Structure 1
C-alpha cells in the first residue's frame, strides 16, 4: 500500500553542484510526524549537479524523485515550477531552489501544523536570512514584520518579490490547483505566485527564521537575468505588465496597491542609477522620505565615489572575518 504524502518539496536546480548537497540535506533533516517526498527538477545542468542528485536518489529512492532534463526547459520559456506542481502528491507543496537551504529541522512541521489548524490558509511564508553564497555570511534579514500575522492582499502586492524568501513558501495544492494565465505570462514565478496565493485564501506570515537564501550564487537566475541596469529595466517592465494583468484578473479591486508596487519599482531603478534629483520629485517624495539617512548617504557614496565605497566595504569585510 502506497504511503500518504502530506508535503511535496519542489526543488528546481541548474548548475548547483556547489550547493545541491546542502540543499538536499536540509530537506532530509526535517523532523515531521508525516511523510514527505522530494521532487527535484534538474534543468539539464552542465556541471556535476545531476551526479550528486543521483547519489542521493540511490540512498533515498522512496523519498527523492528527480527529473533529469536533457534539454534546458527554462530557455524554451517552459515554466519549470509547474512541472513539479503537476506531479506532486502532497496536500501541501513547499518550495526551495537548488542553491538555497532550510535551517530549522521543524520548518515543515510548524507550517503544516498551522495550516492544518487553519484550513482557510492558502499559503504560509516565514522569516529567513539573505546570505553570501560561498561564505554563508549573513547579509540581511528577510523579515517583513516583527510578529506573525495574516497578511492582506495589498501587503503582499506592495511587498514585491524581495518581501519574502521563496524557500519559505508552502501552499495548499487544492487551493492553488489551477494556476492563472498571468502566472504563465510572467517573467518570474515567485511574485505572481504569492499574489495568486493571497487571492485564494488567507496568507500567513510566520515570524520565525527557518531558511537561508543565497545571494550571488553561481548559476542563479539573478546572476543570469538580473545582472545589469538594462536587464533590470527589462525585468521591471515585464513585472509591470504582469501586475496590469493581475489588475484586470481581480476586476481592479487592488489597483491602488498595484500602482504603489509599480511606483516602488520605478523608484528602485532611479536609485540604483544614481538619479537622486528624480527620486526627490513629488511623485516619489513619500518613498524618499522613508529612506533612512544612513541609506541615503550610502547610496550617494556608491554612486559618486565608487572607489572609496569599495574600499570601505573591503575594510568592513576584513574586520568581520
Structure 2
C-alpha cells in the first residue's frame, strides 16, 4: 500500500462560484508522492455537491479526492476539526473552497523544505489577494514580522499566515479534539499555536496561492462582531495554553479586546450607566484578580 505523503483538507460551504478553481489548483500539483484531497462539504445549500462529484468523475486526478457531504450542517470549526482528523498524510495542507493555488510545484517546494529542516513544524509562503472587484493585488492584509519563526512572535503579532499557504507536519491529531479548540471561532490561528509547540515556522518567498478577500465569514464581520470573536478566541487560547509566557500574552490580548467593547459603548450617549457597561466592569475586576 502506497503511503500518503500529503493530505490536503478543504472545508466548503456555499462555494459553488469558486470551488472548481480551488480543486483544480490542488489536482494540478506535481508531487513525487501520493496526495489525498479531503473535501468536507458542510451541507451546502447550493450546487457545490454536484460540482465536486462531476470533477471526481471527469478529472484525470479525480481519484485523489475523498469527498463527504454532511447531511446536517456541523458549523465551520467542527467541520474543520473533523476534516483534519481524517488526514492520513505525513503532512497536511489547507485550501478552503474559496481560495486557490497557482503553482503546481507548491507542495513539492514545501515538502522539500520540511524534509530538509526537521526543527520546523510548518511552513507558509506569499499569497496574492483577490479583491471582490476582481483585482489581484499584493498582500495588504499581513506583514511578516521579525523573528516570524518563533512561537512567541506568533502569539504577540497574531496571525500573519494565510490559510492556503500553509503545510504542516501531521503531529497534533490527539490535540484537535480539545474543548477550547472546538469552541474557538477561528480555527487556523489556534491550529498554528498548537503546532508551534513542536517546532519553528518556515517561510518561502514564492507566491503560490490566492486568498479571496471579503468572502470568508470572519472578513465579512462588522467591528463589534470582530471584537466579540476576538474575545472568544483569546479566552479559549488562554484556557488551553500551558506556557506561562504565552498565556500572559493571550491574557493581554483578551484585556485589549474587552477595552475595545468599552470604547464602543462610550461612543453612545448615556451608556456609562447601563447594565451592559457594569457587566464589563465586573469582567475587568475578575480578570485583574
TM-score range, shorter chain: 0.7 to 0.9
CA displacement 1:189-225 (0-9 Å, x = unmatched): 01111111111222222232211110122xx3236xx
Alpha-carbon separation, structure 2, partners of 1:270 and 1:35? 52
Q: Which residue of 2 aligns with 1:234?
A: 228
> How many Å apart are 1:258 and its aligned residue?
2.6
Alignment of 1:77-156 (within 5 A): 79-133=78-132, 135-138=134-137, 140-141=139-140, 144-145=143-144, 151-156=149-154
CA displacement 1:106-145 (0-9 Å, x = unmatched): 1111110011112232221222122214614326345533
> How many Å apart are 1:45 and its aligned residue?
0.7
Q: Which residue of 2 aligns with 1:250?
A: 242
1:38 is paired with a residue whose SS is strand
TM-score w.r.t. structure 2 length?
0.81
1:125 is paired with a residue whose SS is strand
CA displacement 1:46-104 (0-9 Å, x = unmatched): 111111100111134421111011211107xx611222222222110100100001122
Q: Which residue of 1 aligns with 2:182?
A: 184
Flag the 1:61–1:250 CA change in 2: closer, same or farther, 3 A: same
Alpha-carbon separation, structure 1, partners of 2:212 and 2:122? 22
> How many Å apart are 1:272 and its aligned residue?
9.5
Contact 1:122-1:176 at 8 Å conserved across structures: no
Flag the 1:210–1:165 CA change in 2: closer, same or farther, 3 A: same
CA displacement 1:244-291 (0-9 Å, x = unmatched): 214xx324132443345446656887999998xxxxxxxxxxxxxxxx
> How many Å apart are 1:177 and its aligned residue?
2.5
2:197 is paired with a residue whose SS is helix
1:187 is paired with a residue whose SS is coil
Q: Which residue of 1 aligns with 2:9?
A: 10
Unaligned runs of 5+ in 1: 276-321
TM-score w.r.t. structure 1 length?
0.73
Q: Which residue of 2 aligns with 1:65?
A: 66
Contact 1:143-1:207 at 8 Å conserved across structures: no
Residue range with higher mean Cα deviation, 40-49 or 57-66: 57-66
2:156 aligned to 158, 177, 181, which one? 158
Flag the 1:136–1:80 CA change in 2: closer, same or farther, 3 A: farther
Alpha-carbon separation, structure 2, partners of 1:274 and 1:51? 50
> How many Å apart are 1:10 and its aligned residue?
0.1
Flag the 1:191–1:126 CA change in 2: closer, same or farther, 3 A: same
Contact 2:128-2:136 at 8 Å conserved across structures: no
Q: Give the total of aligned pairs.
A: 263
Q: Which residue of 2 aligns with 1:31?
A: 30
